[in-house]
A and B are shown apart, each in its own frame.
Chain A
Amino acid sequence: MTWVEVVLRAVVILAAFLSLPLLVGQTEHKLMAHMQGRLGPMYAGGFHGWAQLVADGAKFVQKEDIVPAAADKRLFRLAPAIALIPYLVALATVPIHPGVAGLDVPASALLFLVATGVGALGTLVAGWASANKYALLGALRAAAQLISYELPIVLSLASVCLAGGSLSLLTLTDRWQPHWLLWQLPGALVFLVASVAELTRPPFDTPVADAELVMGPWTEYSGLRFAFFLLTEYAGIVVMALLLSALWLGGWHGPFSDTLGWLWTVLKAFAVAVLIIWMRVAWPRVRADQLQRLAWLVLVPVALAQLALTGVGVVMGW
């Protein structure tokens, strides 16, 4: 791989990282509005408020960047980067097109898990460094939640790795077959629920429950750093939806996959993102204890059962 190609890939990944979350965010604005009988943004940019998030970004840039006097200033400033950059790495590992992923390493599944795990750390650092009780409470809730839901994600991903016989996401998507849709369905559902929880999105948003904790770990943040946390959330949706689309929904597999493979991946991921948005609109917030019950009494057993089923399937040669 020449250095030109490296730079080109990095630029493309960065562009996707900065634009796809905005697309998801705008979709959420409009879809949530219509599901609630509203119109949503209508004026920014002229046509149905398409530039609303661009305008929001311009606003965030102009805001004052406040660091509380009692905060651990270096960590406080660093936290958005700790939260944001791992998702950039995770995005790079996701296979998009036959033989194409931003970052093609042999054990990209492991790299993906490590990266998203570090991303969760950003929330904890933000809450701890803010020197604010709401932020601390939110961070502790987030810690409990992220630790609980990391396990179902790992187990469901392990199931696919077992089924495909590889740790490389590219190889896994390459070996995907339509009957995986049914075979790996429990694992897919576990991954969907656990990734929504991992992103602290509603209905699993107790760490940022605005009625109780103001904005949880992000309470003290303002301006661009706050915007980075929001970007993290939506980048997380993009990354998780892309991975779900690549591993469980077949990624580029579809008509004309040689030329339109990337489009299939993105379309499937968009459908998953819409589902994640829909869950936010339709369902109420889960209590902290219900959240733990769901993780340990439902998701982990289902994921383990899926792993066993996959093992049986691999031995039987499905």
Chain B
Amino acid sequence: MSESNAAKDPSSRTRGKAPGILPGLLQGMVTTAKSALRPTHTAEYPHAEPTLPPRSRGVIALLEENCTSCMLCARECPDWCIYIDSHKETIPATTPGGRDRQRNVLDRFAIDFSLCMYCGICVEVCPFDALFWSPQFEYAEYDLRDLLHEKERLGGWMATVPPPPALDPAAAEPAEVTAANRPERGRP
């Protein structure tokens, strides 16, 4: 008899003893009353700024000076939402008899945020640190087509990029520091 009861009532096996109906009901009322007296969790968003974690992926900002138009980001982008146009300019030689040099000049850098899936591969792949994650997220538009943002707008978001978080205490020192501290090669 007692065995069949124990098999029927799962709570008696897992919890030891189940509270009766009345204690359960009272417990429900006490719990709700307690949370009614506590401050609420609601953040009234448009009137209160949200506290976002430092690595929030809100929007991708462009530091135009660092971009070499190498197209790595555009080619790695899974849904091809980055548009880059550039042309070559010739820099005349600075010394007499020297050779003219050529450099890429960025004409257009645009990200279509209606296609972007915020994977961050472009940020990862950029060898020159021209792309950054910004926590800024308030750039909704009424028309899907208005989500294609050009380099002026992308550059404007650079102001909202937070400084990189500090390294962990036990982390290896940054590559730049290692390179600067490396002893000079002994000359033969």
Binding site for B on A (CB under 8 A): 31, 33-39, 42, 278-279, 281-283
Contacts and interface: CB of A to CB of B under 8 A. Distances in A.
Interface string B20-31: 000001001101
List the 5 closest A-B pairs by CB distance, nearest first.
A282-B28, A35-B32, A39-B42, A34-B36, A35-B36
Contacts of B29: 278-279, 282
Contact of A38 (B31, B33, B42): B42
A37 B41 contact: yes
B26 to A, nearest CB: 9
A251 B36 CA distance: 28
Contact of B35 (A36, A278, A279): A36
B38 interface: yes
Contact of A35 (B25, B35, B41, B44): B35
B40 interface: yes
B40 A281 contact: no
A281 B40 CA distance: 16
Q: Interface of chain A, helix or strand or loop or mixed? A: helix
Contacts of A42: 44
A282 B40 contact: no
Contacts of B44: 39, 42
Contacts of B40: 33-34, 37-39
Contacts of B28: 282-283
Nearest to B43: A39
A42 B31 CA distance: 24
Contacts, number: 35
A42 B28 CA distance: 26
B42 A35 contact: no
A282 B25 contact: yes
Nearest to A31: B36
Report which residue of B32, B41, B44 has the largest number of chain A beta carbons within 10 angstroms of its beta carbon: B32
A281 B32 contact: yes
B32 A37 contact: no
Report which residue of A35, A39, A278 has the largest number of chain B beta carbons within 10 angstroms of its beta carbon: A35
A283 B26 CA distance: 9
A283 B36 contact: no
B42 A278 contact: no
18 contacts: A31-B36, A34-B36, A34-B40, A35-B32, A35-B35, A35-B36, A36-B35, A37-B35, A37-B42, A38-B40, A38-B42, A42-B44, A278-B29, A278-B32, A282-B25, A282-B29, A282-B32, A283-B28
A276 B32 CA distance: 13
A18 B32 CA distance: 29
B24 to A, nearest CB: 9
B44 to A, nearest CB: 7
A35 B40 CA distance: 9
Interface in B24-63: 25, 28-29, 31-33, 35-36, 38, 40-42, 44
Nearest to A34: B36
Contacts of B31: 282
Contacts of A39: 40, 42, 44
Report which residue of A279, A282, A283 has the largest number of chain B beta carbons within 10 angstroms of its beta carbon: A282
Contacts of A283: 25, 28
B35 A34 contact: yes
B127 to A, nearest CB: 47
A278 B42 CA distance: 20
Nearest to B25: A283
A31 B36 CA distance: 7
Given A38-B41, A278-B32, A279-B29, 18 more contacts: A31-B36, A33-B40, A34-B36, A34-B40, A35-B33, A35-B36, A36-B35, A37-B35, A37-B38, A37-B40, A38-B40, A39-B40, A39-B42, A42-B44, A278-B29, A281-B32, A282-B29, A283-B25
B162 to A, nearest CB: 29
